[in-house]
Each structure stands twice: as C-alpha cells, then as structure tokens.
C-alpha cells in the first residue's frame, strides 16, 4: 500500500471542493491586491492633493475591501472541513484497515500501539494539510496578489522586490530536504521515547521483580537524551530557515526605501505610489513571508515527515512468528546447526531429534557445551543457521508467538517470582485456573507445604521474592508451569536449587503429567529418570537410552563413572 499515492488520490478526489476553495481565495486576496493602490489613491488624489475628504473616502473603500476579504476568509474556513475530513477518513480507513487485516492476524494480539501510532500520524497529516490549505495557500495568494498590485502601482520598483523574494524562496526550497531530515529525526526520537517509556511502564512489575530499575531507567534516559539532541539540531536548522526568509522579506523594504525618494524626485513615481509600494511590502508580502518561515514551512515539513512515517509504520513487517498452526505437540529436529556468530564454532551441529508426547528426554553435557542454546532453538527463540525445528509439523518460527507460548514452557534456572499473592504467581500462565487446580499443581511438584507456609494461595509475596530461598522460588516456578496448558516443557536446570529428593519428585511429577518433557540436567541423576538421553559433548552428540549409551559410549560411561563416586561421597 503506498500511503503517498493514497494521500494524493484522496486529495485529488476533493477537486471540486478545491475549486470552491480557490474561488474563496480570490475573494480573500482582493484586499492584498488593492491595498497599495487604494493607499496611493488616497494620498495622490486626497491628502497630497489638498482634498482630505477624498483621501478619507478612499481609505473607507479600503476598509470595505478588507471586510470583503474577511468574508472570503470565512468562506475558506467553512470550505476547509469539507475538503479535509474526507481525506482523513479515507486515510484512516485504508491504512488502519490494511494494518489490521495484514499485520494483526499474525501477531500475538491486535497491535493497539501500532494502530495508535498510525492514527496519530493520520491526525498530523490532516492538521498539516488543513494548515497548508489555510496558511500556504493564503500566503501564496497574498504574495501573488500583492506583487501584481505592486506592478500596477509602481512597475519600476516591483523588480527590486521580486528578485530578492524569489531568491529567498529558492534558497528556502534548497534548505527543505535538510529540514525534513531533521524533522523526521525528531519524529523518530519522539516515537522511540514513547516506545521505551511505554514498554517500561507496561512491564513495571517485571522490571521491579528482576531488579532492573536502573537498566530500565537508563534506557529511558538515553531515549530522552536522543530526543533532546534531535530537537536541538532541528532548532538550528529552523534558525537558518528563519534567517533566509527574514533577509528575503526585509531586503526589498530597504531597497524600496533607498530607491523610492530618488524616483519620486525624478518624477518617475508619485508619493502615493511610493507609499502604496511600502504598504504592499510591509502589510502583505513581508508578513506573508514571515508566515511561510514560522508556520507554513513547518507544516510542509510535518506533512512530509508524517506521510513518510505513516508509510513506514503501515508497512512495518509483522512481529516474528507467523500464521502456521501446529498439529499436535511433536518436535522434529533436522540437521540443526547453530553458532553464536557467523564465524564462531557451532554450538549445535547437524542435530537430528524426534520427540513425541510421552517422551522424557534428559540433555547432559559439560557446562558451556550448548544445552541452553539447544533449548532456545527448540522454543524458536533462536534462529538456526542451518536445519530446522518443527513443532506439530510446522517450523516453530513460523508459528504464531501466542501459540508457541501456550504450547511450550521453558523454565530457566532463575525462577521469576514477583510481588503479589501466591495465587497471582501460580496463575501467571493459567489465568483461568481454579484455586483447587493451582493448589493441586503446587502439591504435585512438591510445593504444597511451601504454599501453606506462605499463608495459602492468598498469602502475599514481597518485592524481589523477599524471604524466599532460591529453591522455594524454583518450586513456585515449577508449580506455575505445571498448572499451565503447556504440552512441551523444558526444564533448563530449573531444579538446580532443590535438593536431589525434591528434584526427583518434581521431575517425576512432570513426567507423569503427559506431553513432552525435556530436562536439561543439572545432576546426572536426571539422566537415570529419563527414557531418552541426549549427550552433548562438542562434536560428539549422542542420542539413546541410559543403558544403550553406557554400553556404546565410552564418554558417557566415563561421565557416569566420575559422577557416581561423587554421589556416594556426597551421600
């Protein structure tokens, strides 16, 4: 969708209204055209000719003409709404409708902030177009009418005015691209600040729970600093623009003042014509040019920038994820390869793996070998360099993010517990769950006593999970996922802070819950409970069962042998 074409198209459809507007403009411009001439007549035929009454009469005509012009302005305003509102309606309908149809369907939820941004840009376009039709049109009509009037009153002086005015306008046009770029930078910086501040506000609970207040604050400060820098650069460009227009507006006045006395003395100009020229300059053209500098140009820039930003925002690609619908909760991995960086040694290399509901896979291997990386790949958070992960038969990264979140739960080592009731914490992934269901889930993973000790489901948890040990926080995290509808559960050392007995209890509970369970093992005992095993050891990734691998893999047998004495010692 081309917003520019859409804009010009809807503007073009208002041509009838535009013609009426032009008619009103002619009426509005009559005072500008006649002002100098009427003053010249008042002076030459009245005050300078010794007939002050005649002079006053001409000035009264001037007053009447001004009233006529005001009538024209009134008609312009009335006509304006009829031209502008249909353009706004057409833009909103086309752009927002397009975004909702094309973008939101592939997103987790309707992108309210995106629609809000778009309507905000449309409002700017509407206001700017209205501003242009009122101010730029008014300025143009006034300048042309005044110049034409000046040529009729004092043709000799008119060139002294026309040349600097046209030069200033040309210079101003040359400055416009730089001005537009800076105005655009301001718009982007504004949006960025709103986005960062909005994100922090919406995620305030998470920010506080994770103790990330300082990081979040820094992000907002940086955005505000960028915004301030963009505003300063814009102000510098605006000052330059004002200078150009001021020179273009004032130099004709100086030239006329310098030349008019000589021309009057030589009989080339009457005193009234000289005064009339000054009236054209001082009361019409110069204010019109100032208006161009202070408002009309800003309006043009705002319009250019808003149209461009609207094109960009409306054309933004949908958020990661797509529309694919998984069928069932199987996982199929083929030729999976991933390294942290283009030239880095792959952490996962050519992995093939199939998991179906009922599978309980333990992933073992030394620290830093790539187990968490594999979890990121299975959940679609990381994009493989080669190969594919399929969830329910479709590439996991093409599944709508909300669907992945519903189907797959990844529990990390650091449990996320926030200030609120125990219930709020447990129901995070299952807001519809009843109290009974949540309590059952807690009991199933071994967190029943903990919930009781915290005062039941409605007991309060303080900021930063105050008073909870790391193991207790992990138990609450486990209960939360147990209560959810997730069909694939990945425990990434999620029981590391539990004692071996509690860990065994939790793992067994998840294995009995159904679906796919992947345990990234903190202790090798997890391997003994799983029905399948993935041993990661750099180039040697092995898949099998405990018994099979003990027999076939010297490496796994050695790992087990090294672990068992340690276990015996510990016990």
Ligand X SMILES: Nc1ncnc2c1ncn2[C@@H]1O[C@H](COP(=O)(O)OP(=O)(O)OP(=O)(O)O)[C@@H](O)[C@H]1O
What residues make contact with ligand X under the rule CB under 6 A? 340, 347, 365, 367-373
Q: How far is the CB of 342 from ligand X (least distance, A)?
A: 12
Q: How far is the CB of 210 from ligand X (least distance, A)?
A: 17
Taking the least distance from each CB to ligand X, the nearer of 347 and 451 is 347
Tokens 């941004």, located at residue: 117
The two structure tokens encoding residue 179: 């001005």
Taking the least distance from each CB to ligand X, the nearer of 313 and 347 is 347
Query: Is residue 544 classed as helix, strand or coil in its secondary structure?
Result: strand
Q: Are 44 and 273 in contact (CB under 8 A)?
A: yes
Query: Is residue 460 classed as helix, strand or coil in its secondary structure?
Result: strand
Q: How far is the CB of 1 from ligand X (least distance, A)?
A: 37
Taking the least distance from each CB to ligand X, the nearer of 272 and 365 is 365
User: CA 544, CA 540: separation in Å to the nearest integer?
Assistant: 13
Taking the least distance from each CB to ligand X, the nearer of 245 and 518 is 518
End-to-end CA distance of the chain: 69
Nearest to 370 by CA among 555, 538, 491, 542: 538
Q: How far is the CB of 140 from ligand X (least distance, A)?
A: 58
**Residue 334: in which H helix or E strand, if any?**
strand 331-338
User: CA 242, CA 233: separation in Å to the nearest integer?
Assistant: 14
Taking the least distance from each CB to ligand X, the nearer of 221 and 340 is 340
Q: How far is the CB of 314 from ligand X (least distance, A)?
A: 33
Nearest to 338 by CA among 383, 397, 389: 383
Nearest to 288 by CA among 136, 151, 65, 134: 136
Taking the least distance from each CB to ligand X, the nearer of 461 and 534 is 534
Q: Are 428 and 415 in contact (CB under 8 A)?
A: no
Taking the least distance from each CB to ligand X, the nearer of 514 and 538 is 538
Partners of 411 in the β-ladder:
491
Pairing of strands 360-364, 532-535: parallel
Taking the least distance from each CB to ligand X, the nearer of 367 and 569 is 367
Q: How far is the CB of 368 from ligand X (least distance, A)?
A: 4
Q: How far is the CB of 549 from ligand X (least distance, A)?
A: 18
Tokens 């391997």, located at residue: 527
Burial class (CB in 10 A: 0-12, 13-18, 19+), 50: exposed
User: CA 474, CA 483: separation in Å to the nearest integer?
Assistant: 14
Taking the least distance from each CB to ligand X, the nearer of 400 and 522 is 522
Q: What angle do CA 28, 29, 31 make, to 5 degrees?
A: 95
Tokens 């009057």, located at residue: 264
Q: How far is the CB of 492 from ligand X (least distance, A)?
A: 7
Q: Are 332 and 516 in contact (CB under 8 A)?
A: no
Q: How far is the CB of 535 from ligand X (least distance, A)?
A: 12
Q: Are 369 and 521 in contact (CB under 8 A)?
A: no
Q: How far is the CB of 348 from ligand X (least distance, A)?
A: 9
Taking the least distance from each CB to ligand X, the nearer of 374 and 488 is 374
**Per-residue CA distances from 290 to 284, 415, 473 (Å):** 10, 63, 66
């Amino acid at each position: 969708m081309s917003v520019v074409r859409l804009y010009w198209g809807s503007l073009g459809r208002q041509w009838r209204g535009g013609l009426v507007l032009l008619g009103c403009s002619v009426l509005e411009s009559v005072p500008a055209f006649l002002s100098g001439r009427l003053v010249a007549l008042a002076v030459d035929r009245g005050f300078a000719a010794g007939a002050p009454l005649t002079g006053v009469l001409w000035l009264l005509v001037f007053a009447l003409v001004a009233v006529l012009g005001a009538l024209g302005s009134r008609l312009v305003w009335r006509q304006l709404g009829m031209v502008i509102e249909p353009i706004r309606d057409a833009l909103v309908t086309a752009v927002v409708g397009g975004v909702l149809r094309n973008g939101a369907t592939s997103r987790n939820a309707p992108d309210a902030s995106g629609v809000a941004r778009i309507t905000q840009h449309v409002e700017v376009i509407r206001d700017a177009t209205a501003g242009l039709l009122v101010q730029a049109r008014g300025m143009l009509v006034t300048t042309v009418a005044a110049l034409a009037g000046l040529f009729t009153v004092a043709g000799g002086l008119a060139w002294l005015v026309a040349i600097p005015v046209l030069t200033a306008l040309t210079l101003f046009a040359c400055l416009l691209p730089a001005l537009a770029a800076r105005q655009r930078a301001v718009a982007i910086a504004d949006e960025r600040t709103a986005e960062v501040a909005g994100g922090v506000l919406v995620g305030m609970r998470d920010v506080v729970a994770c103790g990330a207040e300082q990081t979040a604050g820094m992000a907002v400060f940086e955005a505000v600093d960028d915004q301030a820098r963009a505003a300063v650069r814009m102000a510098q460009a605006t000052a330059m623009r004002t200078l150009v227009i001021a020179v273009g507006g004032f130099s004709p006045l100086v030239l006329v003042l310098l030349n008019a006395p000589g021309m009057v003395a030589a009989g080339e100009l009457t005193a009234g014509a000289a005064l009339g020229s000054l009236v054209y300059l001082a009361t019409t053209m110069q204010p019109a040019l100032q208006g161009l500098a202070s408002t009309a140009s800003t309006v043009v820039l705002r319009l250019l920038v808003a149209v461009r930003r609207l094109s960009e925002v409306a054309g933004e690609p949908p958020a990661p994820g797509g529309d694919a619908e998984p069928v069932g909760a199987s996982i199929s991995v083929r030729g999976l390869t991933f390294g942290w960086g283009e030239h880095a040694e792959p952490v996962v290399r050519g992995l093939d793996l199939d998991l179906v509901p009922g599978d309980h896979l333990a992933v073992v291997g030394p620290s830093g070998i790539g187990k968490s990386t594999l979890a990121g790949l299975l959940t679609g958070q990381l994009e493989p360099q080669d190969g594919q992960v399929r969830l329910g038969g479709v590439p996991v990264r093409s599944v709508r993010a909300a669907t992945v979140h519903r189907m797959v739960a990844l529990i990390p080592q650091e449990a996320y517990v926030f200030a609120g009731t125990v219930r709020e914490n447990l129901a995070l992934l299952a807001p519809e769950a009843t109290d009974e269901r949540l309590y059952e889930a807690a009991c199933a993973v071994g967190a029943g006593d903990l919930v009781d000790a915290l005062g039941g489901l409605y007991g309060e948890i303080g900021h930063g999970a105050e008073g909870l040990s790391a193991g207790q926080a992990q138990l609450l995290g486990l209960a939360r996922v147990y209560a959810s509808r997730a069909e694939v559960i990945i425990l990434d050392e999620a029981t590391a802070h539990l004692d071996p007995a509690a860990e065994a209890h939790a793992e067994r509970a998840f294995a009995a819950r159904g679906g796919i369970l992947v345990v990234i093992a903190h202790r090798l005992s997890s391997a003994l409970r799983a029905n399948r095993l993935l041993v990661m050891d750099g180039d040697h990734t092995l898949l099998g069962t405990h018994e099979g691998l003990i027999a076939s893999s010297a490496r796994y047998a050695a790992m087990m042998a090294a672990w068992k004495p340690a276990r015996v010692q510990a016990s």
